[in-house]
Amino acid sequence: MSASLPSGLSDTDLAAIETVRRLAEKTLAPLAASVDENASFPSDQLRSLAEIGALGMNLPEQWGGPGLSALALSVCVEAIAAGCASTASALTAHFLATDAVLIGGDDRMRARILPKAATGDMLGAFALTEPRAGSNPADMRCTALKTTSGYHLSGVKHFISNGGLADFIIVFAVTDPAAGHKGISAFLVEKGTLGFTASQPEKTMGLRGGHVFELSFECDIAAENLVGPEGSGFRTAMKVLDNGRVEVASMCLGIAQVALDAALGWVKQRMIGGQPLAGYQGIQWMLADMATQLRAARLLTEDAAAKRAQGMRFSQEASMAKLFAAEAAGRIADVALQIHGGYGFVRDLPLERHMRDLRIMRIYEGSSEVQRTIIARHLINQ
């Protein structure tokens, strides 16, 4: 069951949402179990999304996008995650990379990268996290030293979605160690760059098709591949992550909606004691709590997306949406599995997959603890 749409959507928005929902239902959902079972990267699914313009949904028309609103983007990401969370993870990782070019790059770099990324001719990755700098990216050890022709990039990034498959990677590195987070810069590293290597995909608990890699860099980067001025990387990364957190919240909505729908279908047909489970007050209250939490998460996500669309500052709203949606979705999927009893625990039904896919949502793109810190700082400093 698709959620009702937020108000204020254009005809272009509505057409895109309908197209994405149809593809997610007919193409992505039937393959989701196989993607998970085989831990296969959803290349064909991304190609199908590219054919309808979905790989550029976060981009303005000037750079190859369809010109969707941030609200429509959120609804589309929700629909894709409802169909296949691994595909949504790979897609939103691509969005992080293209957002970084859009926000931090100059027009020459945008023209070189974004139109091809929008059509699916180039896949992107966003390399911020390191083995010793996850929740605190300002503590990164990856460095970029100036050379006569550009920079020498040296270091390791970890848990990078799409990293070993991407055609371009936005890599963050320290260019001025004395300047703290103001000494971090961003670089565009292209596939095949000498001195760049990627591990095999990590074996993950969930999102098994959304491959993550450890990346090693010992390579020379042309000066033209610096994304924005030196020292602007951290600011670019934080703006990108604000966008990404709304998209993670949207993914959570999609998976939680599927879990709630499964619970509703089950309680209507599962007979216990001569009546459907739906006839028991205890079950009814569980469903009521699930629906209320999902509605609250959706409203927080819509609020953050609306502020993003208006060009307003939305860091606090993005953190609130990501925090609440990630934690609420985990609870909703858990209760949905509980309602199914032993049947929910077997792999013939998708609930255990939904629970595994949702678990990372409280960790990546800023853990729940990091989101609480961001929210508290906004409250204290306002």
* Signed CA dihedral, 52, 56, 61, 63: sign only: negative
Return the structure tokens found at 90.
């790979």
d(CA 309, CA 210): 27
Catalytic residues: 365
Half-sphere exposure of 178 (CA within 13 A, CB side): 0
Query: Buried b / exposed e across 304-343, counting CB within 10 Å, b at 16+?
Result: bbbbbbeeeebbbbbbbbbbbbbbbbbbbbbbbbebbeee
Q: Which residues pair with 196 in a beta bridge?
A: 217
Angstrom distances, CA of residue 277 to CA of 52, 202, 218, 260: 41, 40, 60, 15
Are 371 and 322 in contact, with CB atoms under 8 Å apart? yes
Q: Which of 224, 232, 338, 358 is nearest to 287 (CA)?
A: 338
What is the secondary structure of 210-271 as a DSSP string?
A: S-EEEEEEEEEEEGGGEESSTT-HHHHHHHHHHHHHHHHHHHHHHHHHHHHHHHHHHHHH-E
Angstrom distances, CA of residue 202 to CA of 210, 211, 235, 246, 303: 10, 7, 29, 25, 35
Helix, strand, or coil here: 69?
Answer: coil
Q: Provide the residue count of the chain.
A: 382
* The dihedral formed by the CA atoms of 64, 45, 361 and 257, expressed in degrees to the nearest 10: 100
